Amino acid sequence: MNRRTVFFVSDQTGVTAETMGHSLLTQFDGLEFRPVTLPFISTPDKAEEAVRKINLVAQQEGVRPIVFSTLVQDDLRELVKRADGLFLDFFDAFLGPLESELAVRSSHTSGRAHSMADQTAYNWRINAVNFALANDDGAGARDYERADLILIGVSRSGKTPTCLYMALQYGVFAANFPLTDDELESGNLPATLRPYQRKLFGLTIKPERLQQIRNERRPDSRYASTQQVQYEVRAAEALFARAGVPSLETTECSIEEICSRILDRTGLERRTRP
Amino acid sequence: MNRRTVFFVSDQTGVTAETMGHSLLTQFDGLEFRPVTLPFISTPDKAEEAVRKINLVAQQEGVRPIVFSTLVQDDLRELVKRADGLFLDFFDAFLGPLESELAVRSSHTSGRAHSMADQTAYNWRINAVNFALANDDGAGARDYERADLILIGVSRSGKTPTCLYMALQYGVFAANFPLTDDELESGNLPATLRPYQRKLFGLTIKPERLQQIRNERRPDSRYASTQQVQYEVRAAEALFARAGVPSLETTECSIEEICSRILDRTGLERRTRP
């Protein structure tokens, strides 16, 4: 039996339970996991229903599911703990030591993380998303005064998803500017970017991977040709070096990793955290 | 002493440690936490450097920091554990019980979560982001055939950030279509949307909050007037009811919560998880 059902049970969105479960399960190779998220388990009735779902799967599959839980209310946690599964609760494990250390009892009320408790953080994120969209791809606003960061790189080097993740996850104002043939030929930073040299960060990518991505978008085009892709990547990397722009090779990086590495290298402050 | 420094130490991006720490700390009211993320602690040297940073803060502040850690390699964890802080490691707490349950030893290698191990998940996310951008605000592609979900609502009801979060977090293809005066006056679903009735989901928001948001954008405009905002919200909600479109009132919801509630209510499948 190499397949297990995994429940993510939460009194809120389930994002924390999913993140925690995902991190742990990626440590187990060769096993197959079927994920089921049960969010907003915030009453005894809903907890009982979650227990029934878990027990049903245990019975049907003949092996008990794994339950990653973030239930902060003791009574709900006790209910779900009785289900026929391996119960791993996050608050169970860590709230105790934290309470001792901080010498206070925690509120034990649900709905704190990812709630609107922090309106300021919410506003930062939304404003940062709007900023990223308005300052995407060198078009539109070019409000580089307000930018925390300006990503530059050739088309399809990952600039847009990176800017959006920066905004949603960290409330960072990230603009992006594409390096096109014009800029690459001149070998100099575009004039619009020069006043913001300190905010620039370059993204680069292996030509083979870039070609793959561009081919999906415009098959058999000049845009996706070996020659064009190799030229652009080489010219962009030369430009970064010449202009002293820090850069990152993203071929093997997830979006999370690109963002985290940029923050680490630039020392930019996170305005919000997940 | 109501202020504590909190370290998020990880051999990878630190996203899991941040998420876990944030969830726990929001349980403690009235205390102030200063967050510091130390990502990519992947060698003994870097671990020693992290220890020095933690110890320095302990010394300077006269109170030991809290350390949320996701270090999967035993040797690195043992090093950081020696720092002068309350050390809470996620793998420490949960890998043991999981290994027993699954009757296998985990790989204990870093870089699994948020790594490129899962290229398919990565492609889903990037394609979903591109889809969200191309199908934003009723303009452009309107490729509703490929949409998993089409959000409708008045301007500034939260459609765009929700679509982008759906894409980045869950790989869900979400389009959005704004309800403007034209649609609201007719009281009917726009003709372009009718064939996709099953994919529609409405976002609504309290008029006072909407007015606040619009006022930031266009102060003292008709767009942000009490009358206009009240009219639009009322008309949109009436349209949802008449057309049988499920909807969510988002005033008190974070982006995570909006997404999670929509997935919960529609039964839409998450293509990827954090």
| A211 and A229 Cβ atoms separated by less than 8 Å | yes
> Which residues does residue A19 pair with via DSSP β-bridges, in sequence order?
none
Structural domain includes residue B81: yes
pLDDT at residue A121, rounded to an integer: 82
Distance from CA of B185 to the nearest CA of A (A): 28
Handedness of CA A184, A188, A189, A192 (dihedral sign): negative
Q: Hey, which residues 64-83 in chain A have their CB within 8 Å of chain B?
A: 66, 70, 72
Report, as an integer, the average pLDDT of A170-196.
95
Whichever domain contains B245, its CATH number is: 3.40.50
Does A152 lie in the same domain as A49?
no
∠ at Cα B145 (B144, B150), nearest 5°?
35
Residue A235: give the domain boundaries.
119-266
- How far apart are alpha carbons A24 and B90 in whole angstroms? 9
Phi-psi region of B193 (alpha: psi -120 to 50; beta: other; left: phi over 0): alpha
Does B232 lie in the same domain as B194?
yes
Q: Which of B4, B15, B27 sits opposite A95 (nearest CB)?
A: B27
Structural domain includes residue B110: no
List % helix, strand, coil for chain B (3-state, nearest 5).
50, 15, 35
Q: Hey, which residues 132-151 in chain A have their CB within 8 Å of chain B?
A: 133, 136
pLDDT at residue B112, rounded to an integer: 59
Structural domain includes residue A273: no
Structural domain includes residue B108: no
Between the two ends of chain B, the Cα-to-Cα distance in Å is: 35
Does A162 lie in the same domain as A55?
no
Q: Is the pLDDT of residue A111 over 70?
A: no
Q: Give A84-116 as a 3 state SS string.
A: CCEEEEHHHHHHHHHHHHHCCCCCCCCCCCCEC
Does A131 lie in the same domain as A210?
yes
Helix axes A15-25, B15-25, angle to 10 degrees: 140
Tell me the backbone φ, ψ of residue A104, rounded to 5 degrees: -140, 155
Mutate to test the interface with A, among B74, B94, B104, B262 (most CBs of A within 10 A): B94
DSSP code for B270: P
β-strands B3-10, B66-70: how paired? parallel
Looking at B55, B74, B102, the residue that finishes a domain is B102
Residue carrying the six token digits 């020696």: B82
pLDDT in tens, B161-205: 999 999 999 999 999 999 999 999 999 999 999 999 999 999 999
A contacts of B33 (beta carbons < 8 Å): none
User: Does residue A120 or residue A179 have the better pLDDT?
Assistant: A179
pLDDT at residue A33, rounded to an integer: 94
Structural domain includes residue A77: yes
Token pair in block for residue A87: 């119960």
pLDDT in tens, A28-77: 988 899 999 999 999 999 999 999 999 999 999 999 999 999 999 999 99
DSSP, collapsed to helix, strand or coil, labels residue B200 as strand
Token pair in block for residue A140: 């539109």
Looking at B45, B69, B102, the residue that finishes a domain is B102
Quote the radius of gyration of chain B (alpha carbons, Å).
24
Does the distance separating the beta carbons of B261 and A95 come in below 8 Å? no
Which CA distances in Å does A168 have to A128, A142, B67, B76, B237?
7, 20, 24, 30, 27
Does A149 lie in the same domain as A17?
no
Q: Is the pLDDT of residue A117 over 60?
A: no
Does A150 lie in the same domain as A80?
no
Does the distance separating the beta carbons of A129 and B95 come in below 8 Å? no
| C-beta atoms surrounding A121 within 10 Å | 16
pLDDT in tens, A99-109: 999 998 888 77
Average pLDDT, chain A: 93
A contacts of B165 (beta carbons < 8 Å): 168
Q: Which of B20, B160, B253 sits opposite A16 (nearest CB)?
A: B20
Report, as an integer, the average pLDDT of A220-244.
97
Structural domain includes residue A56: yes
Does B172 lie in the same domain as B252?
yes
Distance from CA of A228 to the nearest CA of B (A): 23
Q: Hey, which residues 229-258 in chain A have their CB within 8 Å of chain B?
A: 252-257
Q: Hey, which residues 23-42 in chain A have their CB within 8 Å of chain B?
A: 23-24, 26-31, 35, 37, 39-40
pLDDT at residue B140, rounded to an integer: 79
pLDDT at residue A116, rounded to an integer: 53
pLDDT at residue A140, rounded to an integer: 78
**Model confidence band, residue A1 (pLDDT cutoffs 50, 70, 90):** low
Does the distance separating the beta carbons of B169 and A15 come in below 8 Å? yes
Mean pLDDT by 10 residues, chain B (274 residues): 89 91 89 94 97 98 96 95 96 94 84 62 91 91 94 96 96 96 92 96 97 93 97 98 97 92 94 80
| B18 and A274 Cβ atoms separated by less than 8 Å | yes
Does A251 lie in the same domain as A154?
yes
Does A136 lie in the same domain as A228?
yes
pLDDT at residue B110, rounded to an integer: 67
Q: How big is the A-B interface in CB pairs under 8 Å? A: 224
Tell me the backbone φ, ψ of residue B176, rounded to 5 degrees: -145, 150
Looking at B73, B102, B131, the residue that finishes a domain is B102
Does A126 lie in the same domain as A98?
no
Q: Is the pLDDT of residue A96 over 60?
A: yes
Does B254 lie in the same domain as B161?
yes
Structural domain includes residue B111: no
Token pair in block for residue A11: 């009194």
> Which residues does residue A248 pair with via DSSP β-bridges, in sequence order?
A203
Structural domain includes residue B112: no
Give how many domains chain A has, as a whole number. 2
